[in-house]
Amino acid sequence: MRWALVAACLLAVLLSLGAFAQEPHDPFMRTEPSALDARYETALRELAATPAGLAFLDALLLIDREYLYSVDREALLRGATAGLIAALDDPYSRYVAPSEVAERRNDPRPEAGVSTTMLGDIGYIGVPSFEADGVGAAVGRSIDAHLAGGAAALLLDLRGNVGGSILQGLQVLDRFIADGVLGFRRVRGVSVPIAYANPRAVQLPLVVLVDGATASTAEIVAGALQAYERARLVGTVTAGKGIGQTSIELTDGSEIQLVSFEWLLPGFRSIDGSGLRPDLEVSESRIGDTSGGNGVEGMRDVANDPVLRAALQLLRETIGDDIAAPRTVPVPTPDVGPTVLPTEPDGTPPTEAPTPAPSEADDDDGDPSDPTVAPSDDPDEERDDEDERADEAT
């Protein structure tokens, strides 16, 4: 520890005060008046008193003489910083060169790029990114337009959305979740809520499309909707980027982006490294042209998009519609009483079915109430029977 502190002090002194004299073993001979603090002089004398200390001083002088005279020290600092970030082996921590920072600042802010259309009675909203400032407002306008158009359900497409502004994502969640915490941010083991839901959210059935490129803010939006059972996810497992970076601007115009916190879904669930598993997993085995599906820029062709077709089917089942084509389901006639036979075209009642012939096993006791008794040969009895039947019919 002691030698590390001494080395750090020496390096700071050499970089700030200039080069030592050319004589490597006499570090106190300078071409300029010495301005060393007494503490540093003591440390240098202790180093010069040992072979290892002299070797350390020789190395520092060599670096100062051979490199710092000819190389810009700011460039050396940038290289050291970039090397430090690379040594962290973190895919989301990075060093941004001054030229890239300047190019990003000079570029105009991206447009919202939200696509919207009606697929029958289902409102489709495609959000390719949350980078632009107006994404949340654009999604809100799309929802209002679909409500005014009589949409029975909504479909939110977040496939390929790698994230962006968490504020824009929260504005989208505000339109769908009516109650509860929308998520948490954990820093050094302490979790704090990031936002609370809007009680005026729309309550139409909702399906969200996701894939392996859905990440960061897009995962927070989809994950919160799934956690509250506000929407069902359709597609493939998402990227699993549940962390956030802090940007540190340096004086030379460069920037360091360091991972500094973790996003948590409602229920304190982390998605980092694992992603979101859809409620209905559908692989995108066939992808159509992404430049004109249903006449909407950025939307895929419905016929060649199995994920979109599966989502539409799920929504139509939810709202009680059929999927591929209207299907006639036979409805049984309820049994409400005796069946009334229709009349003949001339208005006469239908002919009654003939009385079945008597069986040999039936009794032959001449009981007129028995329908199986054979008719009598007496004409008077036949007339009496006919009159009795007519009275019964009346």
- Where along the chain do its domains lie? 2-71, 115-318
**Confidence (pLDDT) at 293:** 55
337: left (phi over 0), alpha (psi -120 to 50) or beta: left
Q: How far apart are CA 149 and CA 236, in angstroms?
A: 31
**Confidence (pLDDT) at 390:** 59
Q: What is the pTM of this model?
A: 0.61
> Within 13 A of 178's CA, how many CA atoms are on the CB side?
8
**Confidence (pLDDT) at 211:** 95
- CA nearest neighbour of 155 among 228, 233, 221: 233
Q: How far apart are CA 81 and CA 248, in angstroms?
A: 12
CATH class of 115-318: alpha beta
Question: Collapsing DSSP states into helix, strand and coil, what is residue 115?
Answer: strand
347: left (phi over 0), alpha (psi -120 to 50) or beta: left
Which ranges of the chain have pLDDT less than 70?
A: 1-37, 39, 67-71, 73, 285-301, 321-394
Q: Helix 38-48 crosses helix 2-17 at what angle (to 10 degrees)?
A: 120
Tell me how far CA of residue 193 lies from CA of 174, 201, 234, 271, in angstroms. Answer: 15, 19, 27, 16
**Confidence (pLDDT) at 97:** 86
**Confidence (pLDDT) at 129:** 94
